[in-house]
Amino acid sequence: MKISLAGDLGSGKSTVTDLLLAATGAERYTTGKIMRVLAASRGMSIDEFNRSIEGDPEVDRLIDNGLRALSDDARDLVIDSRMAWYFTRGTFRVYMTTEPVIAAERIMTAGRDGESFKTLDEAVERIAARRASEKKRYYDFYGVDITDLFNYDLVIDTSYATPEQVASEILNALEAWQEDPSTKRCLICPRRLRYRSDVKINKDEIRATHQLIMSGTTLPLSDVFFEDGGFYLTGSPAPAFGIIADGFAFVPCRLVKGKAKGTYIRMENKI
């Protein structure tokens, strides 16, 4: 069993990894720690280190070779890495996504070496710059977009969910994936969803979703697309509201291609 965890900075990968290790008995492998050690050895912050290696693939080659070697490693592993989904064969590929402001608050609270910020705004700005640097570096070296959510078997939003809820859903999705490796899941916290302002909320659809939940039937999927940090519903928000009404932490979604047109309402404002 190998789970590769990629995701937004501050999405809670380390905390969720701890829970997955406790539940499965797997071992931890993290490239983030390697990067921080290398940055410290050069007397740099992690932001400075990322910028310094943008045109130098040597560090990435060192880390990538380690990830490739894990393909033939017999251990059960949870791999916290931007690129394990790409280099390590046979992993259950998870992407953890989080609202930028929430991510910044978490990183400031964690107080990790090389990641100190004076204000929340500074944290949001520097984290975005670091992410852009990583995205550019990996695209230049490998031709892949690490932020393309279609790369992953599970996309899970950690913005308004507990680490325990996130870890539980990862294990549920892993079990389904082990039975059928073509299985894809996307779980988004309802407060983060947005829907078009001209779409009417149908109460009958909300009640129908509630009835499905009560009967134990598989919940309907809501089609969503991702753009500039937001998840946008393409159709009626009623099934999502029905799920919210029953206290679920996540709305099961299906990722689709799309582009925001018109005015959208953030679901958080209606809960």
Q: Where in the chain is the domain with CATH 3.40.50.300?
A: 2-179
Q: What are phi and psi of 134, to 5 degrees?
A: -65, -45
Distance CA 92, CA 84 (A): 10
pLDDT surpassing 70 at residue 27: yes
**What's the average model confidence in pLDDT over 230-256?**
86
pLDDT band, very low/low/confident/very high, at 133 (cuts 50, 70, 90): confident
pLDDT surpassing 80 at residue 196: yes
Distance of CA 110 to the CA centre of its chain: 18
pLDDT surpassing 90 at residue 218: no
In Å, how far are 3, 38, 99, 203, 233 from 147, measured between CA atoms? 18, 24, 14, 35, 19
* Tokens describing residue 26: 């797997």
**What's the average model confidence in pLDDT over 205-224?**
79
In this prediction, residue 111 carries a pLDDT of: 67
pLDDT band, very low/low/confident/very high, at 48 (cuts 50, 70, 90): confident
In this prediction, residue 52 carries a pLDDT of: 73
Residue pair 192/202 in contact by the 8 Å Cβ criterion: no
Q: Give the pLDDT confidence of 153-178 residue by residue, as tens digits.
A: 999 999 999 999 999 999 999 999 99
pLDDT band, very low/low/confident/very high, at 56 (cuts 50, 70, 90): low
Q: Per CATH, which fold does 2-179 belong to?
A: Rossmann fold (3.40.50)
